Amino acid sequence: MKKLLTSLIVAAVTLTTLVASVASAAGYNPNKDPNGDGVITVADATYIYQFLNGKYKVPDLTRLDVDDNAVVSAADSMYILMHDAGVLSTSLSETDSIDAVSASQSTREYSVYDAKTGAYKKNYSLSVDDYTNSVSTNSIVSGNYKPETNYDNRGTAKIICVGGSFGSGFVVGKHTIATAGHMVYDGSTASPRKISKILLFDANENPSSFTPVECHVPDLYKSNTFSSNYDYALITVKEDLSDYMSFNLGAITNEASNLSIDVVGFPKSYKETTYNNASYIHNEVLTEGSVISVDDKVFYHSADTLGGNSGGPVFVSETLNGITYNTVVGIHVGGTSTRNTSVRLTAEVLKFLNGNTNIEY
């Protein structure tokens, strides 16, 4: 799940060949300085990637949103690289400066269960550095990111539980699938679910089956009456999922109301009646909507969903230099007749999905 920083530098050099029309990229804000050191360099691009890996909890995400679209994503880092390559001009405002930084840690506990039997296996914690300065963020330490994506295969998973219930998820690593907490832990029985099968599909809708190994779920989900605030989880699988990594991970800012989003998954009305080795129907359904409002740990949106969509990715599409990036900013967890709810990909959730060293398969 790692991509060396040197590849980012190579990309920056390659970008010097872009035509002048690209240099006036729409939405690029030349006064954004993500790491607050007074200059815009490749270090700022690295800082954004480190945030997306869950290394830092940044109090003001608008500093990282260099294209001012209310989403912090790999595209923001690419704009920085374009600037560093001399393709985009910039001048920092006089108010951008380095200030003293105070730090604390945000820590969450997680429980791990055997995906097939539901047996408890272990517990661990993950911490995110919390930089509380209101003006700038901290200096850069070198980091890595995820590999190139493969769009020949879809990255949305159908997760089938013992008993026939099912939901959705999406590939985030070589052996990891993100989903909703209630997909792996049953609130009505206060016990882990047993996962029987995980399916992924190629561009021709041909299915492949993957072997579930572990389920990771936040202890806060279990101890807070299964609150939507913590309704997220990971499933590890035995096989390599690299060919299905078609999503980037990102985060929305508090100013994301009216942001256009898409939701993809396997709604219950399209349920295949039998799950056997001879017959699997894909029926991955994409719906469109917009963000209605943003809270601290969740956001609400208007895209149509049904049971079975739970755990599916809520994402935005951004096109830069002719390449479209599908960036997941939330995990769909439920809804009402007036709005749907998604867990927001905060620094803590990004750490769990993108920077988790407790993965076994």
Handedness of CA 114, 118, 122, 126 (dihedral sign): positive
Does some domain include residue 168? yes
Give the burial class of 296: count Cβ atoms within 10 A of its Cβ; 0-12 exposed, 13-18 middle, 19 or more buried.
exposed
In this structure, are 217 and 333 located in the same domain?
Answer: yes
Does some domain include residue 264? yes
In this structure, are 237 and 349 located in the same domain?
Answer: yes
Does some domain include residue 215? yes
Write the pLDDT tens digit of every residue in 92-123: 333 333 333 445 678 999 999 999 999 999 99
| Maximal CA-CA distance, the chain | 66
Last residue of a domain, one of 49, 67, 92: 92
In this structure, are 229 and 329 located in the same domain?
Answer: yes
| Mean pLDDT score across all residues of the chain | 79
Identity of the amino acid at 10: V
Question: By percentage, how much of the chain surpasses pLDDT 90?
Answer: 48
Write the pLDDT tens digit of every residue in 320-356: 777 788 999 999 999 888 899 999 999 999 999 998 9
Last residue of a domain, one of 92, 108, 134: 92
Between 101 and 28, where is the model more confident?
28
Q: What is the CATH number of the domain that holds 310?
A: 2.40.10.120
Tell me, what's the pLDDT at 260?
A: 95
In this structure, are 54 and 180 located in the same domain?
Answer: no
Tell me, what's the pLDDT at 22?
A: 37
Does some domain include residue 114? no
Inter-residue contact 48 to 58 (CB < 8 Å): no
**Angle at Cα 357 formed by Cα 353 and Cα 359, nearest 5°?**
75
Rg (CA), the chain: 20
Inter-residue contact 183 to 216 (CB < 8 Å): no
In this structure, are 164 and 253 located in the same domain?
Answer: yes
In this structure, are 305 and 180 located in the same domain?
Answer: yes
Tell me, what's the pLDDT at 218?
A: 97
Does some domain include residue 122? no
* Average confidence (pLDDT) over 121-139: 64
List the beta bridge partners of residue 340.
301, 335
Tell me, what's the pLDDT at 300?
A: 96
In this structure, are 206 and 325 located in the same domain?
Answer: yes
Write the pLDDT tens digit of every residue in 235-290: 999 999 999 998 999 999 999 989 999 999 988 765 444 444 434 567 788 889 99
**Residue numbers of the domain that contains 249:** 156-354
Q: What is the CATH number of the domain that holds 69?
A: 1.10.1330
Q: pLDDT band at residue 161, thresholds of 50, 70 and 90?
A: very high
In this structure, are 201 and 53 located in the same domain?
Answer: no
- Residue 263 structure tokens: 């939701």
In this structure, are 198 and 58 located in the same domain?
Answer: no
Does some domain include residue 52? yes
Residues 6+ apart with CB under 8 A from 86: 16
Write the pLDDT tens digit of every residue in 203-235: 787 889 999 999 999 999 998 889 999 999 999
pLDDT-wise least confident of 140-144, 300-304, 330-334 = 140-144
Inter-residue contact 322 to 275 (CB < 8 Å): no
- Residue 264 structure tokens: 């993809």
In this structure, are 86 and 163 located in the same domain?
Answer: no
Q: How many domains, in total, are found in the chain? A: 2
Does some domain include residue 132? no
Does some domain include residue 135? no
For the cut 60, the answer to whether the pLDDT of residue 21 exceeds it is no
Last residue of a domain, one of 92, 107, 138: 92
In this structure, are 87 and 173 located in the same domain?
Answer: no
Inter-residue contact 231 to 219 (CB < 8 Å): no
Tell me, what's the pLDDT at 130?
A: 66
In this structure, are 172 and 273 located in the same domain?
Answer: yes
